């Protein structure tokens, strides 16, 4: 028996509703976040991640209330990302019942923010989200603004730096794969997982259950994140876990 | 007959999110009044007391001492069921290696040690923090009642408890090294994992705690 690999359903949330974009455009409405979170909890999800894509700061309070409502009914770890820019944002989400926050562009603009956040709240609740795109052979670059804006930063080096700055976990999304259902980018997953000593969550591109297996076995991921394969009822989390366990991966069943 | 509801105090010493612990305790025992508080009077009046904790040990211990939580905890541990969670458990040991070495409350003899940056098992590198769902080998204690042995609980920690007295170890964890996933003596029980985040197994443990009279 060993530490189990984790399956993390991800809910993209806009003003309190779960949505899922395909390549970050063409949003389809998928339902009530509390209901969906409970369903995933009952199906045996190991954690749940919310990515808040709400545009304005004011409307983001809707997300806070949503997290409060979910935390009252769902007793597995909850991560909230999107729009986390200052320590006050982190405190607000943690007080609402989130266990971890995921920091994305704010880390790119100000890496010291990650250090401060980790010192203040502990590395265990600081996830650094990395949106990477392949720009050459074995070369991936960080992009911001939903994959539109290149930064010139090498994704693997960035992951190492973020771990040094106090990230407790890396949420790695392949922007080439996000929403296209052709599987994780195993190259970047493997490169980053080997380079850092903190857990790596693979994200972006899951279209079937073998992709989840590959993320762990070939990509070396500690956890796999998926959205649409669960939201639209193609597979339950339980089916996904059984499939991974059958492939020889340690899972919590 | 006294019908007033029982009180469970979750000790708040300013170390962040106690929402989950409160929510989970309340969910498993709607008849209990679960109060998040730093007020020693309420803690002394409570029937059950929980010492949670997140973050780093230096800040935790500094707040525990500054707010005289250690005095209340020492009092409580002689009189009523007390549950330590995560850093709350580590704070009950003698000393932690974290933050360059920090003296803790010394309720249990033993050390809190770093997993290290070169942890491995069977040639496979193990990442630190130990984060996720791992099995716990149960060693006879009423708080495991109804929970299958080797059930998985949710852990997040980079430091682990090495209890000096093997009789204090009530749950065995393993991640590269053996560690104490739970320690206990008399009416005190403490766990390294987060029962409030451990779905059915964790909720069952919390429920057992709130129905426990402190007799081991």
Rg (chain B; Cα; Å): 16
Positions in chain B whose pLDDT score sits under 50? 1-2
Listed by start position, the domains of chain A span 15-246
Residue A227's closest CA among A247, A207, A211, A244? A207
CB contact set of B34 (below 8 Å; sequence gap of 6+): B7, B8, B10, B22, B25, B26
Would you say residue A38 has pLDDT above 80? yes
Domains observed in chain B: 7-210 (3.40.50.880)
At CB < 8 Å, which residues of chain A contact B? Answer: 1-6, 41, 44, 46, 68, 71-73, 75-77, 94-99, 121-125, 168-169, 196-199, 222-223, 252
Other CB atoms within 10 A of residue B42 CB: 16
The residue assigned the tokens 């899922």 is: A20
pLDDT number for residue A21: 42
CA distance A25 to chain B (A): 32
Q: Tell me the per-residue pLDDT of A120-130, one tens digit each, with 9 for 90 and over.
A: 888 889 999 99
- E-state strands within A106-216: 126-136, 139-144, 149-154, 169-174, 200-203
Cβ contact (<8 Å) for B19 and A197?
A: no
pLDDT number for residue A28: 53
Q: Tell me the per-residue pLDDT of B109-157, one tens digit each, with 9 for 90 and over.
A: 999 999 998 999 988 899 999 999 999 999 999 999 999 999 999 999 9
Q: Is A134 exposed, middle or buried (0-12, 13-18, 19+ CB in 10 A)?
A: middle
d(CA B158, CA B136): 17
Residue A12 designated active-site: yes
CB contact set of A15 (below 8 Å; sequence gap of 6+): A54, A59, A62, A63
3.20.20.70, 3.40.50.620, 3.40.50.720, 3.90.1300.10: CATH of A15-246: 3.20.20.70
Considering A14, A89, A131, A185, which one is annotated as catalytic?
A131
pLDDT number for residue A57: 72
Supply the DSSP symbol for B122: T
CB contact set of B73 (below 8 Å; sequence gap of 6+): B11, B49, B51, B64, B82, B105, B107
Cβ contact (<8 Å) for A96 and B158?
A: no
Q: Are strands A139-144 and B124-125 parallel, antiparallel or unpaired?
A: unpaired
What's phi and psi for A58, nearest 5 deg?
-65, -45
């Amino acid at each position: 028996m060993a530490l189990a690999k984790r399956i993390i359903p991800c809910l993209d949330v806009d003003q309190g509703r779960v949505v899922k974009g395909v390549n970050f455009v063409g949003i389809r409405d998928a339902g009530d976040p509390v209901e969906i979170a409970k369903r995933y909890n009952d199906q045996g999800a190991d954690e749940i991640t919310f990515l808040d894509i709400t545009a304005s700061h004011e409307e983001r309070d809707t997300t806070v209330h949503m997290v409060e409502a979910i935390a009252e009914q769902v007793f597995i770890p909850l991560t909230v990302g999107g729009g986390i820019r200052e320590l006050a944002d982190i405190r607000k989400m943690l007080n609402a019942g989130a266990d971890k926050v995921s920091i994305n562009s704010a880390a790119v603009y100000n890496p010291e923010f990650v250090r401060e956040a980790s010192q203040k709240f502990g590395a265990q609740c600081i996830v650094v989200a990395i949106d990477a795109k392949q720009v050459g052979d074995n070369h991936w670059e960080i992009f911001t603004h939903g994959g539109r804006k290149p930064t010139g930063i090498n994704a693997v080096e960035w992951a190492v730096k973020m771990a040094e700055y106090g990230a407790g976990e890396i949420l790695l999304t392949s922007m080439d794969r996000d929403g296209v259902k052709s599987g994780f980018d195993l190259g970047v997953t493997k490169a980053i997982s080997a380079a850092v000593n903190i857990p790596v969550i693979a994200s972006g591109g899951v279209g079937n259950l073998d992709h989840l297996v590959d993320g762990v076995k070939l990509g070396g991921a500690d956890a796999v994140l998926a959205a649409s394969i669960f939201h639209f009822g193609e597979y339950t989390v339980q089916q996904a876990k059984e499939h991974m366990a059958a492939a020889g991966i340690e899972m919590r069943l | 007959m006294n019908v007033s509801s029982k009180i469970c105090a979750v000790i708040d010493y300013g170390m962040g999110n106690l929402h989950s612990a409160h929510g989970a305790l309340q969910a498993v025992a709607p008849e209990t009044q679960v109060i998040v508080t730093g007020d020693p009077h309420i803690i002394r009046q409570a029937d059950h007391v929980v010492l949670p904790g997140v973050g780093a040990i230096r800040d935790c211990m500094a707040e525990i001492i500054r707010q005289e939580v250690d005095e209340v905890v020492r009092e409580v541990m002689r009189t009523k069921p007390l549950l330590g969670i995560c850093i709350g458990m580590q704070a009950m040991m003698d000393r932690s290696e974290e933050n360059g070495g920090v003296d803790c409350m010394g309720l249990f003899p033993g050390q809190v040690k770093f997993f290290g940056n070169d942890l491995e098992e069977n040639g496979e590198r193990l990442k630190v923090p130990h984060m996720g769902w791992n099995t716990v080998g149960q060693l006879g204690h009423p708080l495991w009642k109804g929970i299958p042995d080797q059930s998985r609980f949710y852990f997040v920690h980079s430091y682990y408890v090495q209890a000096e007295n093997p009789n204090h170890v009530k749950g065995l964890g393993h991640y590269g090294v053996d560690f104490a996933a739970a320690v206990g003596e008399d009416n005190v029980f403490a766990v390294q994992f987060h029962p409030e985040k451990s779905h059915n197994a964790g909720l069952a443990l919390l429920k057992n705690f709130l129905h426990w009279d402190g007799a081991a």
